[in-house]
Amino acid sequence: MKYFIETYGCQMNVADSELVMTILNDNGFESAAEIFEADVILFNTCSVRQHAEDRVLGRINNEMKHKLSRNVKIGVIGCMAQRLGEELMQLSSGVDFVVGVDMYDKLPEIISSAFHQEMLSVTDINNEQVYPDIMPVHQDPLKAFVTIMRGCNNFCSYCIVPYTRGRERSRGYAEILEDVRIAVEQGRREVMLLGQNVNSYQYQDISFPLLLKKASAVHGVNRIRFTTSHPKDLSDHLIEVMAENEKICQHFHLAMQSGDDEILTRMNRGYTASHYYNLIAKLRKAMPEIAITTDVIAGFPGETEAQFQRTYDLMKAIEFDYAYMFKYSPRTGTKAALYTDQVPEEVRLDRLQRLISQQEKITHKKYQEQIGKIREIYVEGISRKSESEVAGKTPDFKVTVFPGTKEMIGKFINVKIVDAVGWTLKGEVII
């Protein structure tokens, strides 16, 4: 029996799709190269914003056409499955089964029940689930996403994740290191450690900085990345470990969300704008070349123009290399969705656009500043635009394209940056 998985949402969902593939492969299923060859179509979904959910529902309705020509079952897994459960079957008549994020080990059974005409929704939360017996098979031949924890306890007032993913729990460090070791042994040189708040990783006496140290000591790994960090839990120890260890990439993703203290309090973020600013200063002091990226929300309930302006100004003062900017989207079940002072949609959109256009200029400037520097690129493939060029990333995650051949794929090559076009650096190999 063949399956096809379509994945939405964050890197954790990408990692979970690999987990699901591993579970299915171990149980006699086979991965289909194309959706139209599959007997089972799985949508691994995201609930973080309404838009993410609408897109998937549209896709499911679109793929229902396969049911006309053959016996295919459609399943929804991931955060939307967890949030909506059975309701999904009403929202889309094409959905045959729904499986929540802690129940993936039951998928083989559930799929077989679906073929016996049972409509199933299995979304129990298991706050201990870390899938200890499954070593996910990573799909990308060059880099691996390694889950180090699941769930989130922070309950930021706008966010659905603590409800869809359950309580925070850390995966055993021995399993994590084994996962890294296998990934590297199979030829990968880059590993990204994943969790909703990696700074609070704790397994027995191993904290996140110690885990990072151990992961970077795995023989053969060249680059260790991690995401994401919460400003309230970012320790000096982590900064120290990063600064002194050249395998840990000098890129930090640190969600700021807002530059206004009252909004940060209402978001339940647990830090002030000045605390955030000081963290950035500390990171840059310890690692002058570090790239810093962030997430920001425009139009959180009650946000006044003056409060928005503080976000705008703080982003200007900090100059992030890149920012993921969102307009606030109310999520049913979260505290902020109940606030009565919701900001009108057109104001949210206008603020978002102002943030985006300011950030575009800053990112442009940051990329221009790279010109003339020598950077190490991990080559990931042939450039999408030209057969005679290859593309890869700097340690701080900047896409770089330069003349080269397919033999360079998987290698680390030093290039001199000669230009920056949009969000892409152009390089020349230095000999």
Whether 296 and 315 have beta carbons less than 8 Å apart is answered as yes
Joined together, the tokens standing for residue 290 give 């570090």
Binding status of residue 47 toward ligand F3S by CB under 6 A = yes
- Both tokens of residue 132? 């200890």
Binding mask 143-162 for ligand F3S (x = CB under 6 A): -----------------xx-
Q: Quick one: what does residue 46 bind among ligand SF4, ligand F3S, ligand SAH, none, with the CB cut-off 5 to 8 Å set by partner type?
A: ligand F3S
Chain positions 221 to 240 lying near ligand SAH, rule: CB under 6 A, are 228, 230
From ligand SAH, ligand SF4, ligand F3S, none, which one binds at residue 162 (CB under 5 to 8 Å depending on kind)? ligand SF4
Q: Least distance from C-beta 54 to ligand SF4, angstroms?
A: 20
297 binds, among ligand SAH, ligand F3S, ligand SF4, none (CB under 5 to 8 A by kind): ligand SAH
242 SS3 class:
helix
Contacts for 126 with CB less than 8 Å, ≥ 6 apart: 102, 103, 166
Q: How far is the CB of 11 from ligand F3S (least distance, A)?
A: 8
Could you tell me how many residues of this chain bind ligand SAH (CB under 6 A)? Answer: 17
In whole angstroms, give the CA distance from residue 407 to residue 158. Answer: 47
Q: Answer with the entry of ligand F3S, ligand SAH, ligand SF4, none that 328 interacts with (C-beta below 5 to 8 A by kind).
A: ligand SAH
Which one-letter amino acid corresponds to residue 157? Answer: S
Query: Helix or strand or coil: residue 407?
Result: helix
Cα separation, 147 vs 149, whole angstroms: 6
Neighbours of 314 (CB within 10 A): 21
- Give the separation between CA 249 and CA 251, rounded to whole angstroms: 6
> Counting contacts by CB under 6 A, is residue 159 touching ligand SAH?
yes
The residue assigned the tokens 């679109």 is 62
CB 129 within 8 A of CB 174: no
When asked if residue 212 is in the footprint of ligand SF4 (CB under 6 A), the reply is no
Rounded to the nearest whole angstrom, what is the least distance from the CB of residue 164 to ligand SAH in the complex?
Answer: 11
Closer to ligand SAH by CB, 356 or 374: give it. Answer: 356
Check binding of 98 to ligand SF4 (CB under 6 A).
no
Count Cα neighbours of 141 within 13 Å in the Cβ-side half-sphere: 6
324 binds ligand SF4 (CB under 6 A): no
Choose which of 5, 41, 79, 254 interacts with ligand F3S (CB under 6 A). Answer: 79
Rounded to whole angstroms, the Cα distance separating 429 from 136 reads 36
- Whether 190 and 378 have beta carbons less than 8 Å apart is answered as yes
Asked if 12 is part of the footprint of ligand F3S (rule: CB under 6 A), the reply reads yes
- Of 10-18, 198-206, 306-314, 333-341, the segment contacting ligand F3S by CB under 6 A is 10-18
CB 250 within 8 A of CB 289: yes
Q: Which residues bind ligand SF4 (CB under 6 A)?
A: 152, 154-156, 159, 161-162, 196-197, 230
- Residue ranges in contact with ligand F3S by CB under 6 A: 9-10, 12-13, 46-48, 78-79, 160-161, 164-165
